[in-house]
């Protein structure tokens, strides 16, 4: 009988060992997945944009980017931000759909970058010293499009009417 008792103890010990390993692996897996999954699927805040009314400095040429925030409430561009430096003057304009950075070298306006807000898309056209950028909301048909028409006035990008 002692032989059966020893076998039963070994069997119980192996079963308990197996359960302990399964629990340990499950806990480690849960912790790893929890840490890796934090923030996935959560809304991200818009990156902070500099205050275009008070920013100064020469902005480097940038690439056109996809998204940068949530839609604003107005399609009216803010005033230009002056830069100091060489012959080309760079200005930044913010609309409900995003931010446009343009520069002037004489009478030629050049698009430096566009930062589009979440839920918006843009179209651009440049011809004869004029830059036109149109932002359209992809999510809400009730939101007005935001258009920005820029020309160079005295070597500075300046918004003008259609």
Where do the structural domains in the chain lie, given as residue ranges?
1-42, 47-162
Q: What integer pLDDT is reported at residue 150 of this predicted model?
A: 94
Smallest CA-to-CA distance from 134 within 89, 105, 96, 86 is with 96
Instruction: Please give the pLDDT value at position 39.
Output: 63
pLDDT of residue 40: 61
**Long-range contacts formed by 37-44: CB under 8 A, 24+ apart:** none
At 72 the pLDDT is 43
Q: Is 75 in contact with 137 (CB distance < 8 Å)?
A: no
Give me 80's structure tokens: 């230009």
| Structural contact between residues 152 and 107, judged by C-beta atoms closer than 8 angstroms | yes
pTM: 0.47
pLDDT at 90: 92
User: What's the pLDDT at 19?
Assistant: 97
Q: What is the pLDDT of residue 36?
A: 82
- pLDDT value of position 86: 54
pLDDT, position 68: 45
Residues of the chain with pLDDT under 70: 1-2, 39-87, 162
């Amino acid at each position: 009988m002692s032989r059966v008792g020893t076998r039963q103890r070994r069997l119980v010990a192996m079963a308990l060992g197996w359960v302990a390993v399964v629990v340990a692996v499950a806990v480690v897996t849960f912790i790893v997945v929890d840490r890796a999954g934090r923030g996935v699927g959560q809304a991200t805040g818009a990156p902070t944009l500099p205050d275009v009314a008070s920013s100064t400095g020469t902005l480097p040429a940038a690439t056109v980017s996809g998204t940068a925030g949530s839609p604003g409430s107005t399609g009216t561009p803010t005033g230009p931000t002056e830069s100091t430096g060489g012959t080309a003057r760079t200005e930044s304009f913010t609309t409900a759909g995003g931010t446009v950075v343009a520069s002037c070298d004489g009478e030629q306006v050049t698009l430096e970058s566009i930062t589009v807000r979440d839920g918006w898309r843009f179209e651009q056209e440049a011809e004869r010293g004029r830059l036109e950028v149109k932002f359209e909301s992809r999510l809400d048909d009730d939101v007005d499009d935001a258009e920005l028409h820029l020309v160079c006035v005295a070597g500075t990008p300046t918004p003008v009417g259609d």
